[in-house]
Structure 1
Amino acid sequence: MGAAPSSGRPSVFDAVGGEQAFLALARAHHRRCLADPELEHPFSKLDQHPQHVERLAAYWAEVMGGPPRYSRSGADQSHVLWLHSGNGEIDDLGRRFLACFLAALDDAGVPADPELRACLRAYMEWAVADVLAYSPTDAVVPDAAPMPRWGWEGLVR
Protein backbone atom coordinates (compact mmCIF):
# COMPACT_ATOMS: atom_id res chain seq x y z
CA MET A 1 0.00 0.00 0.00
CA GLY A 2 1.07 3.55 -0.59
CA ALA A 3 1.47 6.17 2.07
CA ALA A 4 -1.83 7.69 3.12
CA PRO A 5 -1.98 11.46 2.91
CA SER A 6 -2.74 13.49 6.00
CA SER A 7 -6.30 14.14 4.73
CA GLY A 8 -7.28 10.57 5.57
CA ARG A 9 -7.86 9.71 1.91
CA PRO A 10 -5.92 6.79 0.50
CA SER A 11 -2.93 7.63 -1.64
CA VAL A 12 -3.61 8.06 -5.34
CA PHE A 13 -1.69 4.79 -5.76
CA ASP A 14 -4.18 2.98 -3.52
CA ALA A 15 -7.21 4.72 -5.05
CA VAL A 16 -6.17 3.49 -8.51
CA GLY A 17 -5.87 -0.05 -7.12
CA GLY A 18 -2.19 -0.64 -6.42
CA GLU A 19 0.55 -2.24 -8.47
CA GLN A 20 -1.64 -4.60 -10.49
CA ALA A 21 -3.92 -1.73 -11.47
CA PHE A 22 -0.95 0.33 -12.66
CA LEU A 23 0.32 -2.65 -14.65
CA ALA A 24 -3.11 -3.00 -16.28
CA LEU A 25 -3.11 0.75 -16.99
CA ALA A 26 0.37 0.65 -18.55
CA ARG A 27 -0.62 -2.33 -20.72
CA ALA A 28 -3.84 -0.66 -21.84
CA HIS A 29 -2.02 2.60 -22.55
CA HIS A 30 0.68 0.83 -24.55
CA ARG A 31 -1.98 -0.96 -26.65
CA ARG A 32 -3.71 2.37 -27.30
CA CYS A 33 -0.43 4.00 -28.33
CA LEU A 34 0.40 1.13 -30.70
CA ALA A 35 -3.01 1.56 -32.32
CA ASP A 36 -2.50 5.31 -32.86
CA PRO A 37 -1.11 6.08 -36.34
CA GLU A 38 1.30 8.73 -35.00
CA LEU A 39 2.33 7.11 -31.72
CA GLU A 40 2.75 3.64 -33.19
CA HIS A 41 6.25 4.37 -34.52
CA PRO A 42 7.90 5.48 -31.27
CA PHE A 43 6.03 2.79 -29.31
CA SER A 44 7.06 -0.07 -31.59
CA LYS A 45 10.79 0.69 -31.66
CA LEU A 46 12.93 -2.41 -31.61
CA ASP A 47 15.37 -0.76 -29.19
CA GLN A 48 12.68 -0.21 -26.55
CA HIS A 49 13.43 -1.81 -23.20
CA PRO A 50 12.02 -5.37 -23.12
CA GLN A 51 10.16 -4.60 -19.89
CA HIS A 52 8.97 -1.17 -21.03
CA VAL A 53 5.38 -1.68 -19.91
CA GLU A 54 6.38 -3.07 -16.51
CA ARG A 55 8.84 -0.21 -15.97
CA LEU A 56 6.21 2.35 -16.97
CA ALA A 57 3.78 0.80 -14.49
CA ALA A 58 6.42 0.91 -11.74
CA TYR A 59 7.22 4.54 -12.60
CA TRP A 60 3.59 5.69 -12.52
CA ALA A 61 2.94 3.71 -9.34
CA GLU A 62 5.94 5.29 -7.59
CA VAL A 63 4.97 8.80 -8.69
CA MET A 64 1.47 8.23 -7.30
CA GLY A 65 2.64 7.12 -3.85
CA GLY A 66 3.49 3.47 -4.42
CA PRO A 67 6.71 1.63 -3.62
CA PRO A 68 9.96 2.96 -5.13
CA ARG A 69 10.44 0.01 -7.52
CA TYR A 70 11.28 2.22 -10.48
CA SER A 71 13.95 4.26 -8.73
CA ARG A 72 15.33 1.14 -6.98
CA SER A 73 15.91 -0.35 -10.43
CA GLY A 74 18.61 2.28 -10.97
CA ALA A 75 16.55 4.60 -13.14
CA ASP A 76 15.55 8.12 -12.15
CA GLN A 77 13.68 11.15 -13.45
CA SER A 78 16.72 12.35 -15.39
CA HIS A 79 16.68 9.03 -17.25
CA VAL A 80 12.97 9.45 -18.06
CA LEU A 81 13.60 12.96 -19.39
CA TRP A 82 16.68 11.83 -21.33
CA LEU A 83 14.71 9.03 -23.02
CA HIS A 84 12.24 11.59 -24.34
CA SER A 85 14.64 14.45 -25.07
CA GLY A 86 15.98 15.88 -28.30
CA ASN A 87 13.16 14.69 -30.56
CA GLY A 88 12.28 18.12 -31.94
CA GLU A 89 8.73 19.41 -32.35
CA ILE A 90 6.36 16.71 -31.09
CA ASP A 91 3.46 18.65 -29.54
CA ASP A 92 0.83 16.56 -31.33
CA LEU A 93 2.36 13.38 -29.90
CA GLY A 94 1.85 14.79 -26.42
CA ARG A 95 -1.83 15.44 -27.11
CA ARG A 96 -2.22 11.94 -28.55
CA PHE A 97 -0.35 10.37 -25.62
CA LEU A 98 -2.71 12.10 -23.19
CA ALA A 99 -5.77 10.93 -25.15
CA CYS A 100 -4.49 7.34 -25.10
CA PHE A 101 -3.89 7.58 -21.35
CA LEU A 102 -7.38 8.89 -20.66
CA ALA A 103 -8.99 6.14 -22.77
CA ALA A 104 -6.75 3.52 -21.12
CA LEU A 105 -8.17 4.45 -17.71
CA ASP A 106 -11.45 2.86 -18.80
CA ASP A 107 -9.74 -0.04 -20.57
CA ALA A 108 -7.84 -0.89 -17.38
CA GLY A 109 -10.85 -0.57 -15.11
CA VAL A 110 -9.47 2.35 -13.10
CA PRO A 111 -12.28 3.53 -10.79
CA ALA A 112 -14.49 6.13 -12.46
CA ASP A 113 -14.40 8.41 -9.40
CA PRO A 114 -14.40 11.96 -10.86
CA GLU A 115 -11.87 13.28 -8.33
CA LEU A 116 -9.46 10.41 -9.08
CA ARG A 117 -9.87 10.83 -12.82
CA ALA A 118 -9.27 14.58 -12.55
CA CYS A 119 -6.15 13.94 -10.48
CA LEU A 120 -4.79 11.44 -13.03
CA ARG A 121 -5.57 13.75 -15.94
CA ALA A 122 -3.83 16.67 -14.21
CA TYR A 123 -0.80 14.47 -13.59
CA MET A 124 -0.56 13.35 -17.20
CA GLU A 125 -1.01 16.90 -18.50
CA TRP A 126 1.85 17.98 -16.22
CA ALA A 127 4.00 14.97 -17.18
CA VAL A 128 3.53 15.54 -20.91
CA ALA A 129 4.45 19.22 -20.54
CA ASP A 130 7.51 18.26 -18.46
CA VAL A 131 8.73 15.83 -21.12
CA LEU A 132 7.97 18.24 -23.98
CA ALA A 133 10.13 20.87 -22.31
CA TYR A 134 13.10 18.67 -23.27
CA SER A 135 12.01 17.94 -26.86
CA PRO A 136 14.15 20.63 -28.55
CA THR A 137 17.09 19.01 -30.31
CA ASP A 138 19.54 21.00 -28.18
CA ALA A 139 17.82 20.27 -24.84
CA VAL A 140 20.04 19.56 -21.86
CA VAL A 141 18.59 17.20 -19.28
CA PRO A 142 19.57 17.97 -15.69
CA ASP A 143 21.49 15.37 -13.72
CA ALA A 144 19.78 13.87 -10.68
CA ALA A 145 16.33 15.33 -11.34
CA PRO A 146 14.14 14.26 -8.39
CA MET A 147 11.41 11.69 -8.93
CA PRO A 148 8.12 13.55 -9.12
CA ARG A 149 5.52 12.78 -6.48
CA TRP A 150 1.88 13.39 -7.29
CA GLY A 151 -0.93 13.61 -4.77
CA TRP A 152 -4.55 14.60 -4.69
CA GLU A 153 -3.59 18.29 -4.79
CA GLY A 154 -1.05 17.91 -7.60
CA LEU A 155 2.72 17.94 -7.61
CA VAL A 156 4.14 17.41 -4.12
CA ARG A 157 7.08 19.73 -3.57
Structure 2
Amino acid sequence: MRPSLYEFAGGEPAFLALATAHHARCLADPELNHPFSHPDQHPRHVERLAAYWAEVMGGPPRYSESCGDHTGMVAMHSGNGDMGELGRRFVECFVLAADDAGLPEDPEFRAALRAYMEWAVTEVLSYPDEGGVPAGMPMPRWTWDGRRD
Protein backbone atom coordinates (compact mmCIF):
# COMPACT_ATOMS: atom_id res chain seq x y z
CA MET A 1 0.00 0.00 0.00
CA ARG A 2 1.26 3.44 -0.93
CA PRO A 3 1.98 5.88 1.91
CA SER A 4 0.04 9.13 2.11
CA LEU A 5 1.65 12.17 0.54
CA TYR A 6 2.21 13.40 4.10
CA GLU A 7 4.15 10.25 5.03
CA PHE A 8 6.06 10.17 1.74
CA ALA A 9 7.14 13.80 2.18
CA GLY A 10 8.58 13.09 5.63
CA GLY A 11 5.74 14.05 7.93
CA GLU A 12 5.41 17.15 10.05
CA PRO A 13 9.06 18.32 9.74
CA ALA A 14 8.82 18.18 5.95
CA PHE A 15 5.68 20.31 5.86
CA LEU A 16 7.15 22.83 8.28
CA ALA A 17 10.22 23.06 6.04
CA LEU A 18 7.95 23.45 2.98
CA ALA A 19 5.86 26.20 4.59
CA THR A 20 8.99 28.01 5.80
CA ALA A 21 10.61 27.84 2.36
CA HIS A 22 7.39 28.89 0.61
CA HIS A 23 6.90 31.85 2.91
CA ALA A 24 10.51 32.96 2.32
CA ARG A 25 10.07 32.68 -1.45
CA CYS A 26 6.84 34.69 -1.35
CA LEU A 27 8.50 37.40 0.73
CA ALA A 28 11.36 37.56 -1.80
CA ASP A 29 9.00 37.79 -4.79
CA PRO A 30 8.40 41.44 -5.77
CA GLU A 31 4.71 40.78 -6.56
CA LEU A 32 3.85 38.38 -3.74
CA ASN A 33 5.75 40.31 -1.09
CA HIS A 34 2.90 42.66 -0.26
CA PRO A 35 0.32 40.09 0.88
CA PHE A 36 3.00 38.18 2.81
CA SER A 37 4.50 41.11 4.67
CA HIS A 38 1.46 42.52 6.47
CA PRO A 39 2.16 43.33 10.11
CA ASP A 40 -1.24 41.89 11.13
CA GLN A 41 -0.30 38.43 9.87
CA HIS A 42 -0.78 35.72 12.48
CA PRO A 43 2.48 35.27 14.46
CA ARG A 44 2.36 31.52 13.82
CA HIS A 45 1.39 31.80 10.17
CA VAL A 46 4.08 29.42 8.92
CA GLU A 47 3.26 26.75 11.51
CA ARG A 48 -0.46 27.03 10.75
CA LEU A 49 0.21 26.78 7.03
CA ALA A 50 2.34 23.68 7.58
CA ALA A 51 -0.42 22.11 9.68
CA TYR A 52 -3.02 22.88 6.99
CA TRP A 53 -0.98 21.41 4.13
CA ALA A 54 -0.03 18.41 6.25
CA GLU A 55 -3.68 17.68 7.04
CA VAL A 56 -4.72 18.05 3.40
CA MET A 57 -1.97 15.63 2.36
CA GLY A 58 -3.02 12.92 4.80
CA GLY A 59 -1.50 14.05 8.07
CA PRO A 60 -3.16 14.54 11.44
CA PRO A 61 -6.05 17.03 11.79
CA ARG A 62 -4.02 19.60 13.73
CA TYR A 63 -5.23 22.52 11.62
CA SER A 64 -8.91 21.56 11.93
CA GLU A 65 -8.61 20.96 15.66
CA SER A 66 -6.82 24.18 16.55
CA CYS A 67 -7.08 26.75 13.77
CA GLY A 68 -10.40 26.41 11.99
CA ASP A 69 -11.93 24.79 8.98
CA HIS A 70 -11.49 24.91 5.24
CA THR A 71 -14.18 27.58 4.85
CA GLY A 72 -12.24 29.86 7.18
CA MET A 73 -9.01 29.31 5.30
CA VAL A 74 -10.61 30.05 1.93
CA ALA A 75 -12.45 33.09 3.30
CA MET A 76 -9.22 34.45 4.80
CA HIS A 77 -7.54 34.36 1.38
CA SER A 78 -10.48 35.33 -0.84
CA GLY A 79 -12.23 38.61 -1.51
CA ASN A 80 -9.26 40.30 -3.15
CA GLY A 81 -10.73 40.80 -6.61
CA ASP A 82 -8.76 39.95 -9.72
CA MET A 83 -5.34 38.73 -8.60
CA GLY A 84 -3.83 38.65 -12.09
CA GLU A 85 -0.57 36.71 -12.15
CA LEU A 86 -0.33 36.25 -8.37
CA GLY A 87 -1.87 32.78 -8.46
CA ARG A 88 0.64 31.50 -10.99
CA ARG A 89 3.52 33.06 -9.05
CA PHE A 90 2.24 31.52 -5.81
CA VAL A 91 2.22 28.05 -7.41
CA GLU A 92 5.72 28.51 -8.78
CA CYS A 93 7.00 29.59 -5.35
CA PHE A 94 5.40 26.46 -3.89
CA VAL A 95 7.02 24.19 -6.48
CA LEU A 96 10.44 25.75 -5.92
CA ALA A 97 9.97 25.66 -2.15
CA ALA A 98 9.63 21.88 -2.37
CA ASP A 99 13.21 21.87 -3.67
CA ASP A 100 14.35 24.29 -0.98
CA ALA A 101 12.76 22.12 1.71
CA GLY A 102 14.45 18.98 0.40
CA LEU A 103 11.19 17.13 -0.29
CA PRO A 104 11.46 13.89 -2.29
CA GLU A 105 12.15 14.48 -5.96
CA ASP A 106 9.90 11.62 -7.07
CA PRO A 107 8.09 12.86 -10.22
CA GLU A 108 4.68 11.47 -9.19
CA PHE A 109 4.98 13.09 -5.77
CA ARG A 110 5.98 16.43 -7.26
CA ALA A 111 3.14 16.22 -9.79
CA ALA A 112 0.66 15.60 -6.95
CA LEU A 113 1.98 18.61 -5.02
CA ARG A 114 1.71 20.87 -8.06
CA ALA A 115 -1.76 19.60 -8.92
CA TYR A 116 -2.91 20.28 -5.36
CA MET A 117 -1.58 23.83 -5.32
CA GLU A 118 -3.00 24.62 -8.76
CA TRP A 119 -6.39 23.38 -7.56
CA ALA A 120 -6.12 25.31 -4.26
CA VAL A 121 -5.19 28.57 -5.95
CA THR A 122 -8.01 28.18 -8.46
CA GLU A 123 -10.45 27.56 -5.61
CA VAL A 124 -9.38 30.64 -3.64
CA LEU A 125 -9.41 32.83 -6.74
CA SER A 126 -12.93 31.62 -7.56
CA TYR A 127 -14.14 33.80 -4.65
CA PRO A 128 -12.99 37.28 -5.71
CA ASP A 129 -15.65 39.07 -3.67
CA GLU A 130 -15.81 39.28 0.12
CA GLY A 131 -18.47 37.17 1.78
CA GLY A 132 -18.91 34.75 -1.10
CA VAL A 133 -17.38 31.66 0.52
CA PRO A 134 -20.02 29.08 1.49
CA ALA A 135 -20.09 27.74 5.04
CA GLY A 136 -19.25 24.14 5.82
CA MET A 137 -16.76 23.45 3.05
CA PRO A 138 -15.11 20.09 3.75
CA MET A 139 -11.37 19.93 4.35
CA PRO A 140 -9.88 18.76 1.07
CA ARG A 141 -8.00 15.47 1.09
CA TRP A 142 -5.29 15.17 -1.51
CA THR A 143 -3.87 11.83 -2.59
CA TRP A 144 -1.52 10.56 -5.25
CA ASP A 145 -4.54 10.51 -7.56
CA GLY A 146 -5.83 13.99 -6.75
CA ARG A 147 -8.64 15.28 -4.59
CA ARG A 148 -10.64 12.77 -2.64
CA ASP A 149 -13.57 13.87 -0.47
Q: Is the shorter-chain TM-score for this pair beyond 0.5, marking a shared fold?
A: yes
Q: In the alignment, what sits opposite 1:110?
A: 103
Q: Identify which of 109, 126, 134 aligns with 2:127.
A: 134
Indicate yes or no: 2:112 matched with 1:119. Answer: yes
Identity %: 65
Offset of residue 86 of structure 1: 1.1
Distance 1:67 1:91 in 2: 34
Q: In the alignment, what sits opposite 1:98?
A: 91
Q: How many residues align?
A: 149
Q: 1:74 to 1:25 in 2, by over 3 A?
A: closer
Q: In the alignment, what sits opposite 1:3?
A: none
Distance 1:108 1:92 in 2: 24
Q: In the alignment, what sits opposite 1:5?
A: none
**Greater shift after overlay, 82-91 or 114-123?**
82-91
Indicate yes or no: 2:17 matched with 1:24. Answer: yes
Instruction: State the TM-score, normalizing by the size of structure 1.
Output: 0.92
Residue 91 of structure 1 aligns to a residue in which SS? coil
Matched-pair contact (CA < 8 Å) for 2:56–2:141:
yes
Offset of residue 35 of structure 1: 0.2
Letter in 1 for 2:10: G
Q: Deviations over 1:1-53 (max 9, x none)?
A: xxxxxxx0110100111000000000000000000001000000111111000
Residue 25 of structure 2 aligns to a residue in which SS? helix
Q: Identify which of 45, 48, 51 aligns with 2:44.
A: 51
Distance 1:80 1:93 in 2: 18
| Structural RMSD (CA) | 0.9
Q: What are structure 1's unaligned runs of at least 5 residues?
A: 1-7
Q: What are structure 2's unaligned runs of at least 5 residues?
A: none
Matched-pair contact (CA < 8 Å) for 1:58–1:69:
yes
